[in-house]
Chain A
């Protein structure tokens, strides 16, 4: 193809090849290139070969923006409040597995620092015309998601929503909290504190809100309502460490801590190591490091990877036309390790 070679010599590097460049180099009309691109009828095999060979040679890529103008972008957006939380890593592994070998690309938008609201990041994804969104930040209002779902399919991950407009995937936080609390109560603990984030509110459908509510219910049912201690902390191991240390050093007579997630539980373990105070600690999620023998964290396992995979399946069903909302709950399992022991007898 001497035409292509001649053209290559005058091709300006640093500029994306356009459809016109391909047409000129292949010596065919722009309409013919377009037909090949659209996989339309009436294109001869030799024409198809000629055009695709030229596209490869010029590294021509139909622009995503141009494709977006016509419909799909084959992009799935994931909004994540805290990339450092290894439970979300598990979820992303499921997402990536579900899309491996497909044309779909995953893009992740981290929520803005500070606000943790996540709405801006979700809107940024929608602006980039993703074909579907998995929203993970627990504090985005369901009204905002309802509105977004009128344009782009949404799956809310981790919160127990009942929207008619979008789907949701969550763990059974009532059952999970009961498993953790029953385990500690069976070990003879009565002074059990709950370590949770500042923003956890009992009246919401967020995972942490439900865990807090069920903690209180379990204590009350065990006749321990007067022993209820809720320790509040910011996100992160260091903050959780100092919240538990402050409680220990302030003389709060606790023997066990049920933490709202593993990151907080690992901070609580640090507090026990640094103060020498024996406390039984239970986490939630079962992040990969929880099973490390150095930590041996007893925790409530959530099937993060399966949940991520299911979130993608739900988006794909939406893209294929499903309009009715689906809300699925996954069952957790207690993993007992070395961080919990019988309550001291005195």
Chain B
């Protein structure tokens, strides 16, 4: 029998490996994506894959999908649910193939921008369904003058207040300036409460306060985007002023707030020991589940004088629904999106999931949703923190606020953050 020296085998294996490596495509793909086009017309038919990350909404969407299938013969909807972290990292590649996600959402900010850039979204600008939405609440789904997606949920990323506690402290209306806000905090503290329960140990939730603190201080609405571009610096006076205001808030947070997680502050608030939960309206359902019985509202600190305040609060639009350019059932996918955009169906979603929606004319049955519903038409700013597309820059800027609450000097914290920003621009 013939023999083959080991060296020859190794050479053959190396050649095989090199060949395989050469055969590997380089980064990316040269295939051009078809996106950024209008939706194809035709008769709706087939199965619509609805990809998303909200497992907690599965039953509600199933209910809506059944109603949709009954009203639209020949079309069914299949949900494709993945955890949000996996969705963030994998959705783009999965959706580009067109096998899943005929209708899909993105998070606001980096993911939305990435999907638009990759040509995954179809252009919805000319679709009638867009008229069903509150215009001021769907700007997060537009770019370059086109409406790529429709943000479906609305949350208010500003402190949630215990109305009973505010009444006990003698506060009947929201303060309109910074001094008024500090007085409110003093009164809450005087009533034996922790004025603000803030999860400084959880940077994702701690950063929600940043929205309220900069909404009126910032020199322009796109200041956070400009920080990332390098045209605005966090060492500028307006941001130092913001950090100084954070320093003023130190005595009003619970002790050791920079190490407290969001679960603990929810407990503090739900048990009635704190006047405000400094995260956002998305935690109301959680504090109800913890047994909170008192009425709640949202309340944003106004960091300027009353007449200089441009905004009363902050909202964010998440779950930006769109149609996949690679979908082979575009008319059916459009029909499903139209169905979700109907006020009655959006109302079903809102009331079942206890979330506000951007669709106009929805009747909210839940008491908390009703209480907060007027905020849908008030002067609220689209949460500025999500203008940051670079997570490291966002972390550096928001980290500086946590450091200041922890005792750092505002100027030093700002310089440290700016050094990281400068490195990354």
Partners in one complex: no
Taking Cβ atoms with an 8 Å cutoff, the residues of B that contact A are: none
